[in-house]
Amino acid sequence: MNWRRSVLPFIIIVLSIQIKAQDNPVELGNVTITSSLLIQQQKETGRNITVIKGEQFQKLAVHSLDDLLRYLPGVEIQQRGPQGSQSDINIRGGTFQQVLVIVDGVKLNDPLTGHFSSYIPIQPGEIERVEVLKGAASAIYGSEAVGGVINIVTKTFAAAKQDQKHSFIGGVAAGEYGMFNGNAHYRYSGNQSQFSAGFISNNADGQPLRGTRSFFHLTSGGLAFSQQFKKDWRLSIRTAADSRRFNAQNYYTTFVSDTAKEEVNSWWTQLNISKKTKKGLLTADAAWKKLRDQYWFRPSSAPNDNKTNFLLTQVNYTATLSKQMSMTTGVQVQRKEISSNDRGDHQLWHGALFAILRQRLGDRWYLNESLRLDWDESYGLILVPQLNIAWSPSRWNFRASVGRSVRDADFTERYNNYNKILVSSGRIGNPDLQAEEAWNAEIGSDYILSPSLKISSTVFYRTHTGLIDWAPTPYANMPRQVNLSPAGSYALAKNVEKVKTSGLELDLVYSKKLNKRSDIFLMMGYTWLHSTNKDSIPSFYISTHANHLLNFSAVYNWQQFSVSVNGLYKNRNTQSATAIKASITPSYYVMNLKLGYRLPGKFGRIFIQADNLFNKTYSDLLGSQMPGRWLSGGFDIKL
Max Cα separation, the chain? 73
H/E segment holding residue 415: helix 411-415
Q: Return all residues near 575 (Cβ < 8 A) that are at least 6 apart.
A: 543, 544, 583, 584, 622
For residue 311, which amino acid is it? Answer: L
Residue 302: DSSP 8-state: P
Q: What is the mean pLDDT of residues 508-526?
A: 92
pLDDT band at 549 (very low <50, low <70, confident <90, very high): very high
**8 A C-beta contact, residue 253 and residue 262:** no
Of residues 167, 169, 170, the one with CA closest to residue 188: 167
How many helices, marked H, and strands, marked E, lie in the chain?
A: 5, 34
- Smallest Cα–Cα separation from 564: which of 609, 612, 514? 609
Inform me whether the pLDDT recorded for 40 exceeds 60: yes
Q: How much is the pLDDT for 24?
A: 37
Q: What is the mean pLDDT of residues 430-451?
A: 93
Tell the burial category of 243 from Cβ atoms under 10 Å away from its Cβ (0-12, 13-18, 19+).
middle
Residue 160's pLDDT band (cuts 50, 70, 90):
low
Q: What is the structure's pLDDT at 23?
A: 38
How many angstroms from the chain centroid is the CA of residue 292? Answer: 21
Q: How far apart are CA 542 and CA 534, in angstroms?
A: 12
Q: pLDDT, tens digit, for every residue of 95-110? A: 888 999 999 989 999 9
Q: How far apart are CA 129 and CA 158, in angstroms?
A: 10
Query: Over 50: is that where the pLDDT of 26 sits?
Result: no
SS3 track for 54-122:
HHHCCCCCCCCHHHHHHCCCCEEEEECCCCCCCEEEEECCCCHHHEEEEECCEECCCCCCHHHCCCCCC
How many angstroms separate the CA atoms of 498 and 2, rounded?
37
pTM for the predicted model, two decimal places: 0.90
Q: What is the pLDDT averaged over residues 324-347?
A: 95
Does residue 35 have a pLDDT over 70? no
User: Shortest CA distance to 429 belongs to which of 482, 491, 340?
Assistant: 491
Of 241, 256, 255, which is closest to residue 288 (Cα–Cα)?
Answer: 241
* pLDDT at 477 exceeding the cut of 90: yes
Quote the CATH superfamily of domain 3-638: TonB-dependent receptor, beta-barrel domain (2.40.170.20)
Beta-carbon contacts of residue 585 (< 8 Å; ≥ 6 apart)? 574, 618
pLDDT of residue 519: 92
What H or E segment, with its residue span, contains residue 141?
A: helix 138-141
- Residue 231: predicted pLDDT: 79
Q: Classify the C-alpha dihedral 51-55-56-58 as positive or negative.
A: positive
**DSSP state, residue 42:** G
Share of the chain above pLDDT 90, in %: 68
Q: Write the CA distances from 128 to 33, 34, 154, 223, 579, integer angstroms.
A: 11, 12, 5, 15, 46
Dist. CA 219–CA 469, nearest whole Å? 31
**Confidence (pLDDT) at 161:** 57
Name the CA radius of gyration of the chain, rounded: 24
Burial level of 431, CB count in 10 A (0-12/13-18/19+)? middle
- 198/124 Cα distance (integer angstroms): 9
